[in-house]
Amino acid sequence: MKRSLGYGAAMRLNKAMPALVLLCGMLAAPARAETVQLLALGDSLTQGYGLIEQDGFVPQLRAWLEERGHDVRIVNGGVSGDTTAGGLSRVDWSLTPEIQGMIVTLGGNDLLRALSPEVSRANLEGILQAAEAKGVEVLLVGMQAPGNYGPEFKQSFDAIYPELAERFDTVYAPSFFAGILPEGGTPQDATEFMQADGIHPNAEGVTRVVEALGPSVEELIARIEDAD
């Protein structure tokens, strides 16, 4: 003959049931993916020069990614006026332990100062070496020199980014301005998307930049998630 539970034992079991159900549900549910941690290492284009904070590159990129279901945190490592040398000088301490991926957008100020392409290449190489040493995936964003520096300078500078991307096996995007400039164009060809200085994109320009560059950032995130 089966023994029935006493009143007190039955009451204790009934009270425990909701907690048991919740625990079972938590164990059965798939683990939530952790937030992907990115660093955007760049100059004023990354920093958001001339724009209110939410219109800058990093906030707009974060919002674009979140709309597509990505749980991501992006550290704004943009410093206005920075060269590739400046990026190299701070990359090591900028790559804190939680950073899993880095977007590198540097070289524009090297061009404005007419620095030797060999110097820019060496600095970018050092940045990629630092990322490689720490196991950080990279999206390298390319840049093209204007024609007024001469064909030899332009050829040397333009080759830096695709060659380093191939050597270090990074994700590669040919141009930061791909979303607002025709191929081979200059900022003067898209004045409606530029600020008055003709160098930095306005809020609408940044939106277009993000739409064009976003898929490359998603590729970077996929690499990070596949490696986990």
Active-site hit among 71, 169, 189, 197: 197
Active-site hit among 82, 120, 175, 200: 200
Q: Are 141 and 108 a contacting pair, CB within 8 Å?
A: no
Active-site hit among 43, 44, 70, 120: 44
DSSP string, 152-208: HHHHHHHHHHHHHHHHHT-EEES-TTTTTS-TT--GGGGGGGB-TTSSSB-HHHHHH
* 228 is an active site residue: no
Tokens of 151: 């064909």
* 197 is an active site residue: yes
How many Å apart are CA 113 and CA 120, to the nearest integer? 11
Point out the residues that are catalytic: 44, 197, 200
